[in-house]
C-alpha cells in the first residue's frame, strides 16, 4: 500500500512511510488530532544526513508550538538514521487554513 501524504515529500521513497508515521504520532493537544491531520506539515525534504520539515501552526499565538516542535523532532529522530540532523522550519506563509485539514479531521470537527 502506498502512502499518500498530505504534505509535499521530496526524498527516497523508502523513507516516506517512516516519516509520515513519525509525524502522525505527534498530536496537537489543543484539538486532539495529529499534526498531519490538522495540516500543519507543509513539506518534508529527506537527504542523507539531513531531514528538513516545513510546518506551521494554526495561529502565531499557539501556546503549544514548542511542545509540538519538540515532539516532531523527537519522533523523526527515532526513525532517522543515526547522525541525521532534523531541521524543523516554522513558517507563517502561506497561512494555515481549515482547508488543509484531512477529511478525517474535518469529520472529527463536524465540518
Instruction: With respect to residue 1, please indicate whether it lies within any of the assigned structural domains.
Output: no
Q: How many domains does the chain have?
A: 1
User: Residue 27 is part of which domain span?
Assistant: 8-108
Instruction: With respect to residue 64, please indicate whether it lies within any of the assigned structural domains.
Output: yes
Q: What is the CATH number of the domain that holds 50?
A: 3.30.300.130
Least confident of 5-9, 40-44, 92-96: 5-9
Instruction: With respect to residue 65, please indicate whether it lies within any of the assigned structural domains.
Output: yes
**SS3 readout for the chain:** CCCCCCCEEECCHHHHHHHHHHHHCCEECCCCEEHHHHCCEEEEEEECCEEEEEECCCCCCCCCHHHHHHHHHHHHHHHCCCCCEEEEEECCCCCCCHHHCCHHHHHHCCC
Instruction: With respect to residue 3, please indicate whether it lies within any of the assigned structural domains.
Output: no
Query: pLDDT (tens digit, 9 = 90+) per residue, 22-44?
Result: 999 999 999 899 999 999 999 99
Q: Give 110's pLDDT tier (boundaries 50, 70, 90).
A: confident
Amino acid at each position: 500500500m502506498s502512502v499518500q501524504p498530505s504534505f509535499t515529500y521530496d526524498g527516497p521513497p523508502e523513507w516516506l512511510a517512516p516519516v509520515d508515521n513519525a509525524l502522525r504520532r505527534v498530536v496537537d493537544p489543543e484539538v486532539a488530532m495529529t499534526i498531519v491531520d490538522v495540516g500543519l506539515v507543509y513539506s518534508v525534504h529527506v537527504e542523507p544526513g539531513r531531514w528538513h520539515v516545513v510546518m506551521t501552526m494554526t495561529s502565531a499565538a499557539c501556546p503549544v508550538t514548542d511542545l509540538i516542535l519538540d515532539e516532531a523532532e523527537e519522533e523523526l529522530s527515532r526513525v532517522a538514521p543515526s547522525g541525521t540532523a532534523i531541521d524543523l522550519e516554522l513558517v507563517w506563509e502561506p497561512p494555515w487554513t481549515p482547508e488543509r485539514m484531512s477529511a478525517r479531521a474535518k469529520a472529527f470537527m463536524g465540518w
